[in-house]
Structure 1
Amino acid sequence: MNKAKQILLKALSSPDSRLDVEKSRKLMNLKALDPLKPFYRTLDTKFYREGREIPLRIYFPDSESYQTAEAVQKGDMTDNIYPVLLYIHGGGFVTESVDSYSRVCRNLAKHTRHVVVAIDYPLAPEHRFPTQVEDCYAVAKAVFADRNLLNADPDSITIMGDSAGGNLTAAVTLMARDRGEFAPPRQILIYPCVNNNYRENNGFASLMENGQDYLLTRQNMADYLDYYQSSERDRENPYFAPLLAEDFTNLPKTLIITGEFDPLRDEGEAFAAKLAKGGNQVECHRIADGIHGFFLLETFHPAVKKTYEYINEFLETEGIQD
Structure 2
Amino acid sequence: MAINKVVRAALKALSYKDIDVKKNYELQRNFVNITHRHYLKPFFKTWDCEVDSENHSIPVRIFSPEKEGDYPMLLFFHGGGWVTGNIDSYSKVCANMARITNHNVVSVDYRLAPEHPFPAGLEDCYQAAKAFITKEENNFKEITIIGDSAGGNLAAALSLMARERKEFSIKKQILIYPSTYNNHSETSPFQSVHLNGTDYLLTSKRVCDYMELYKSNDSDYSNPYFAPLLADDLSDQPETLIITAEFCPLRDEGEEYGRKLRAAGNKVEIFRIKDALHGFFALPPSFPQVKICYEIINRFLDEVSNVEE
Contact preservation (8 Å) 1:14, 1:217: no
The Cα of 1:33 is off from its aligned counterpart by 3.6
Q: Which of the numbers 257, 273, 277 marks the counterpart of 2:243?
A: 257
Contact preservation (8 Å) 1:10, 1:213: no
The Cα of 1:30 is off from its aligned counterpart by 2.2
Q: Quick one: distance in 1 between partners of 2:120 and 2:269?
A: 29
Q: Quick one: distance in 2 between partners of 1:6 and 1:298?
A: 11
The Cα of 1:179 is off from its aligned counterpart by 1.2
Inter-CA distance 106–7: structure 2 relative to 1 (3 Å threshold): closer
Mapped pair 1:87 → 2:76: yes
Mapped pair 1:225 → 2:211: yes
Q: Quick one: distance in 2 between partners of 1:136 and 1:191?
A: 18
Q: String of CA shifts for 1:99-128, please: whole Å, max 9, x gaps.
A: 000000001100000001110001100000
Q: Quick one: distance in 2 between partners of 1:240 and 1:311?
A: 25
Q: String of CA shifts for 1:236-291, please: whole Å, max 9, x gaps.
A: 11001101000011100000000000000000000000000000000000000110
Q: Which residue of structure 2 lines up, in the alignment, with residue 72 of structure 1?
A: none
Mapped pair 1:144 → 2:133: yes
Q: Which residue of structure 1 lines up, in the alignment, with residue 291 of structure 2?
A: 305
Normalising by the residue count of structure 2, what TM-score does the alignment of the two structures yield?
0.91
Superposition pairs of residues 199-278 of structure 1, within 5 angstroms:
199-278=185-264
The Cα of 1:13 is off from its aligned counterpart by 7.3
Query: Which one-letter code corresponds to 2:84 in the other structure?
Result: T
User: What stretches of structure 1 of length at least 5 have no aligned partner?
Assistant: 66-80, 318-322
The Cα of 1:31 is off from its aligned counterpart by 4.0
Q: Which residue of structure 1 lines up, in the alignment, with residue 90 of structure 2?
A: 101
Q: Which of the numbers 52, 58, 63 marks the counterpart of 2:62?
A: 58
Contact preservation (8 Å) 2:3, 2:275: no
Q: Quick one: distance in 1 between partners of 2:292 and 2:248?
A: 16
Contact preservation (8 Å) 2:33, 2:85: yes
Contact preservation (8 Å) 1:82, 1:152: no
Aligned length: 298
The alignment-based identity, stated in percent, is 50
Inter-CA distance 89–171: structure 2 relative to 1 (3 Å threshold): same
Inter-CA distance 308–6: structure 2 relative to 1 (3 Å threshold): closer
Q: Which residue of structure 1 lines up, in the alignment, with residue 306 of structure 2?
A: none
User: What stretches of structure 2 of length at least 5 have no aligned partner?
Assistant: 304-309
Q: Which of the numbers 17, 20, 31 marks the counterpart of 1:18?
A: 20
Q: Quick one: distance in 2 between partners of 1:247 and 1:37?
A: 46
The CA RMSD over aligned residues, in Å, is 2.0
Inter-CA distance 23–181: structure 2 relative to 1 (3 Å threshold): same
The Cα of 1:25 is off from its aligned counterpart by 1.3
Inter-CA distance 4–296: structure 2 relative to 1 (3 Å threshold): closer
3-state SS of paired residue (2:107): strand
Normalising by the residue count of structure 1, what TM-score does the alignment of the two structures yield?
0.88
Contact preservation (8 Å) 1:90, 1:166: yes
Contact preservation (8 Å) 2:7, 2:276: no
Q: Which residue of structure 2 lines up, in the alignment, with residue 285 of structure 1?
A: 271
